[in-house]
Amino acid sequence: MRFSSRLPANSLPNALSTALTRLRDQGLAILDLTVSNPTACGFTYPEAAIREALGAPSVLRYAAEARGSLPAREAIAAHHGRGLRPEDLLLTASTSEAYALLFKLLGDPGDEVLVPNPSYPLFEWLARMEGLNAVTVPAWFHERWDLDIAALESACTRRTRAICVVNPNNPTGQFLSRAEWNALTGLCTRKDLALIVDEVFADFPLEPEPGHLPTALEDPDPPCPVFVLSGLSKAALLPQVKLGWIAARGPGARAALDSLEFIADQYLSVSASAQAAAPALLALAPALRAQARARAMENLAALDAWLAVERSWSRPSLGGGWSVLLRRPALESDEAFALRLLEEEGVLVHPGHFFDLPAEGFLVLSLLPRPGGFRKGLDALSKALPNR
């Protein structure tokens, strides 16, 4: 049996991955400033309440509900508010599966989805595994990353079926502006496209700008089909529970959900325990999210204090989420700097090109590490700067 050599071996650039494996094999401790797994970041979880929720008696009674259990959908609708109803929702095992179902629904092999970049490098592989092509369209940068609506329209072909956006973006952290929302929905209406909006980080505003769009669900009646994605991985800091969802609005939403229900019925992938626990876990979620937001703000304050000293570095404004971009003097490639930082200081960061940033001069840090470790990482950055 032959396997495609085009599939990635892991989520890091090859040189960094190789060096990381070698250093860990040597027993060296690595300070990871890319960590995005909240269960590894020292947050306090109400363990007894979570175990009780996951062990609910209803777990022992299986009901094959392709759209997802009504109590779970009711809890998710209440979590979002904005007039969302249980009948507007379909449950999935994750947001990645939500993309897969939507790509199955919206396209045929060879069709295209447009992805403004910089963005998380997940879209290319999820689209490819459904036989679609993810076409990246660069945003333009002037103090903030603005969607290039004209470029998106120019990129549309007869095979284009949808546009995928992340609100707030990962890794830039910027929320869509209301002007961008109106332009996006207008474009999708003109071109008969669906709009997929990943809002897993929408519950984590940090420095939102005036006029930002806190959620696509703010628009109760969009002029084009809109699919909004989220899940417990971020909303409740519980990536291991594996529960995501799709909310549908706009023209044809009911028919789309009926079709998605048929597709989901072929898999029935959402576990009974995740669905049964959802109402209780979403009730616990605000306190958990508050911890993550407080951690992000503390680390952001430490970063700003560091930037006040290291004046050749800067960061763009950050609307929300768990990551921050660092602009640096591009005296060497981002990957070369990240590799040198790893090998000399034992600190792991992401080079900008991992997120399809269009030029050198960017690193991406997570805001979730424990504050002491984060400050140690900043000290290591200072040591690794050229001419030190």
| Same domain assignment for residues 249 and 318 | no
Whether residues 18 and 165 fall in one domain: no
Q: Does residue 52 lie within any of the structural domains?
A: no
- Per-residue pLDDT, 11: 55
194 shares a domain with 107: yes
Within this chain, do residues 221 and 254 fall inside the same structural domain, yes or no? yes
274 and 340 assigned to the same domain: no
Residue where one domain finishes, among candidates 227, 260, 284? 284
Using the 3D structure, point to which of 227, 259, 284 is the last residue of a domain.
284
Domain-embedded: residue 80:
yes
Is 215 inside any structural domain? yes
Residue 76 forms part of a structural domain: yes
Evaluate whether residue 202 is within a structural domain. Answer: yes
What is the pLDDT, as a whole number, of residue 388? 55
Residue 140 in domain:
yes
Spatial separation of the C-alpha atoms in residues 280 and 283, rounded to whole Å: 5
* pTM value > 0.75: yes
Q: How many domains does the structure of the chain reveal? A: 2
* Same domain flag for 176 and 96: yes
The domain spanning residue 350 has which CATH number?
Answer: 3.90.1150.10
Residues 276 and 298 in one domain: no
Same domain, 212 and 198: yes
Per residue of the chain (388 residues), what is the pLDDT tens digit? 444 444 444 456 678 889 989 999 899 889 999 999 999 999 999 999 999 999 988 888 888 999 999 999 999 999 999 999 999 999 999 999 999 999 999 999 999 999 999 988 889 999 999 999 999 999 988 778 899 999 999 999 999 999 999 999 999 999 999 999 999 999 999 999 999 999 999 999 999 999 999 999 999 999 999 999 999 999 999 999 999 999 999 999 999 999 999 999 999 999 999 999 999 999 999 999 999 999 999 999 999 999 999 999 999 989 999 999 999 988 899 999 999 999 999 999 999 988 988 889 999 999 999 999 999 999 999 998 876 5
Q: Looking at the structure, do residues 150 and 299 belong to the same domain, yes or no? A: no
Do residue 123 and residue 182 come from a single domain? yes
- Which of the listed residues 268, 284, 300 is the one where a domain comes to its end? 284
* Paired strand residues for 164: 196
Q: What is the CATH number of the domain that holds 129?
A: 3.40.640.10
183 is a domain residue: yes
Q: Does residue 290 sit in the same domain as residue 170? A: no
In a domain, 98, yes or no: yes
- Burial state string for 139-170 with b = 16 or more CB within 10 A and e = fewer than 16: bebeebbebebeebeebbeeebbbbbbbbbbb
Residue range of the domain that includes 313: 14-44+285-384
Tell me, yes or no, whether 280 and 309 share the same domain: no
